[in-house]
Amino acid sequence: MAIHCSRTCLQYLIHLAHDNVDFRLPEIRALLSLRGKPIDTGENFKEKSPFWRLNGLSEEDVNSIMARTVCAKSAFELWGHGRTHSELRTSLLKYPTENMSPFLQKDSTYKINVYTFNKTLEFEDRIKKIDAMEYLSFEGRVNLRNPKHIFCLLEDYGTDPNDIPDEPLYIYFGRWIADGQRELIRSHSVKNRHFIGNTSMDAGLSFIMANHARVKAYDLVYDPFVGTGSLLVACSHFGAYVCGTDIDYNTIHGIGKASRKNQKWRGPDENIRANLRQYGSEKLYVDVLVSDASKPIWRDGVLFDAIITDPPYGIRESTRRTGSQKDSYVFLLNSHVPVSMAYHLSDIFTDLLNFSAHHLVIGGRLVYWLPIYRPE
Ligand SMILES: C[S@@+](CC[C@H](N)C(=O)[O-])C[C@H]1O[C@@H](n2cnc3c(N)ncnc32)[C@H](O)[C@@H]1O
């Protein structure tokens, strides 16, 4: 008796970008958990590989990942795989015909792409590889410009650019489902951002943080070290209402010296609100306030769905907090003027965790940067 695999027990292949490697698994895991799904990578999973096989998902689950991820490039319904082309062929020929046939029919159009990781192939070699796939019964017409279905042969030549094997170490073939949101890295680049500062967070990393924090539409998200609001920009892209605080009056009010070359002072509308307006999410701007994160201003019972932040930590930005004459060695004539004093790393960290413990909804996430010294 033939064993039929329903479309829910299909295996999917995710092709990941080879940057921010340590952040990829938490991103995909967080996005799946938004749908209440665990990540099942099966045995022999290699986290550093650019190709992951995922089990136990539906095409809708995969589409939901791809609608948000900036770590993954594309997703495929995996039809076959193997260490050699012969193993791939055996695997493909075993794949249930009823799963393939809807995409191979006469009245449809298709194209086959070849993607190689860690090796560049000549055009002729690509064509040869495509021709060699003839054993699959493609009945439709080839249409390179606007095909109804796209298939992809993906070859993995390992991760060592100094030791590229002649033959791929592993090969996959599948039906393309969707691309990820890598385009956001370009479209939201801080290079073209209206209001930036010296420590504006990179667009790709901001989106990764928003994904790790599982930020979703109608959430209320808070950044206690908001700076120029890069993290708010990413969170509002996913539909969250956003607010923040910063100790720096000039940053919050968008005044003072500009961070751009060839520009001395900030323009009249260089502020966080204008950044959200630039990307069409101004309606999700709640507000930003001047405030010292070491002295919380929020009433008990105020709850955020996520807290997402890039504290100063003294690496790219000096760490200061407000104090009074009592706890400072600095003497001022006018006691109303707040005294600036060192804000130590351990205090920033403790304050952030304590604050989050009190002001996050149950299950809400705090996502923040913590500098580490890798050799240790
Ligand atoms: C690394 S920057 C954040 C950059 C921000 N993510 C962006 O994209 O522009 C850290 C921010 O923390 C602010 N800051 C420093 N000490 C603070 C404190 N005690 N309370 C609140 N903000 C503080 C700085 O003014 C700076 O804007």
- Decide: 58 in ligand 1 pocket, CB within 6 A: no
* CA separation for the pair 136, 145 (Å, rounded): 21
Q: What is the pLDDT of residue 102?
A: 93
Residue 243 has pLDDT above 90, yes or no: yes
Residue 142 has pLDDT above 60, yes or no: yes
Tokens describing residue 322: 């407000």
* CA separation for the pair 74, 49 (Å, rounded): 14
Residue 6 has pLDDT above 70, yes or no: no
Residues 98-119, mean pLDDT to the nearest whole number = 95
Does the domain at 184-368 match CATH 3.40.50.150? Answer given as yes
Backbone angles phi, psi at 113, to 5 degrees: -100, 155
DSSP H helical segments within the chain, as ranges?
Answer: 21-33, 59-66, 85-94, 97-100, 123-131, 183-187, 203-212, 230-237, 249-253, 272-278, 345-359
Residues 100-104, mean pLDDT to the nearest whole number = 93
* CA separation for the pair 173, 36 (Å, rounded): 28
Q: What is the pLDDT of residue 341?
A: 77
Residue 172's beta-bridge partner residues?
A: 81, 154
Distances (CA, A) of 220 to 164, 181, 243, 250, 358: 48, 23, 8, 25, 15
For the chain, percent of residues with pLDDT exceeding 90: 80
Residue 68 has pLDDT above 90, yes or no: yes
- Decide: 340 in ligand 1 pocket, CB within 6 A: no
- Protein residue with its CA nearest to atom 23 in ligand 1: 247
Distance (angstroms) between ligand 1 centre and the Cα of 247 equals: 7
CATH number of 7-181: 3.30.2130.30
pLDDT digits (tens, 9 = 90+) for 315-335: 555 577 777 655 443 334 444
Residue 155 has pLDDT above 90, yes or no: yes
* CA separation for the pair 59, 174 (Å, rounded): 13
- Protein residue with its CA nearest to atom 4 in ligand 1: 227
Contact 297, 232 (CB under 8 A): no
Ligand 1 atom, smallest distance to 317 CA: 1
- Decide: 323 in ligand 1 pocket, CB within 6 A: no
Q: What is the pLDDT of residue 332?
A: 40
Instruction: Indicate the pLDDT class of residue 371, thresholds 50, 70 and 90.
Output: confident
DSSP H helical segments within 159-255, as ranges?
Answer: 183-187, 203-212, 230-237, 249-253
Residues 150-160, mean pLDDT to the nearest whole number = 96
pLDDT digits (tens, 9 = 90+) for 249-288: 999 999 888 888 788 888 888 999 999 999 999 999 999 9
Q: What is the pLDDT of residue 308?
A: 98
pLDDT digits (tens, 9 = 90+) for 296-318: 899 999 999 999 999 997 655 55
Spans of all domains in the chain: 7-181, 184-368
- Decide: 351 in ligand 1 pocket, CB within 6 A: no
Helix, strand or coil, per DSSP, at residue 324:
coil
Backbone angles phi, psi at 284, to 5 degrees: -95, 5
Instruction: Give the highest mean pLDDT range of 2-6, 98-102, 254-258.
Output: 98-102
Instruction: Indicate the pLDDT class of residue 373, thresholds 50, 70 and 90.
Output: confident
Q: What is the pLDDT of residue 313?
A: 76
For the chain, percent of residues with pLDDT exceeding 70: 92
Backbone angles phi, psi at 98, to 5 degrees: -65, -20
Q: What is the pLDDT of residue 78?
A: 98
Instruction: Indicate the pLDDT class of residue 236, thresholds 50, 70 and 90.
Output: very high
Q: What letter would DSSP give residue 265?
A: B
Q: What is the pLDDT of residue 327?
A: 47
Residues 190-199, mean pLDDT to the nearest whole number = 93
Residue 29 Ramachandran class (φ > 0 left, ψ -120 to 50 alpha, else beta): alpha
Residues 98-107, mean pLDDT to the nearest whole number = 93
Distance (angstroms) between ligand 1 centre and the Cα of 345 equals: 13
Counting every residue written for the chain, the total comes to 376
Q: Which tops the pLDDT comparison, 266 or 9?
A: 266
Nearest one of 50, 41, 59 to 15, comparing CA atoms: 50
Distance (angstroms) between ligand 1 centre and the Cα of 308 equals: 12
Distance (angstroms) between ligand 1 centre and the Cα of 307 equals: 14
Contact 118, 134 (CB under 8 A): no
Distance (angstroms) between ligand 1 centre and the Cα of 5 equals: 53
Which has the minimum average pLDDT: 118-132, 218-232, 240-254, 341-355?
A: 341-355
Whole-number mean pLDDT of the chain? 91
Ligand 1 atom, smallest distance to 228 CA: 9
Helix, strand or coil, per DSSP, at residue 109:
strand
Ligand 1 atom, smallest distance to 312 CA: 10
Q: What is the pLDDT of residue 334?
A: 46
Q: 28-58 burial string, b = 16+ CB within 10 Å, else e?
A: bebbbeeeebebebeeeeeeebbbbbbebbe
Distance (angstroms) between ligand 1 centre and the Cα of 30 equals: 26
Which has the minimum average pLDDT: 37-41, 72-76, 316-320, 356-360?
A: 316-320
Question: Within 10 A of 122 (CB to CB), how many other CB atoms are there?
Answer: 8
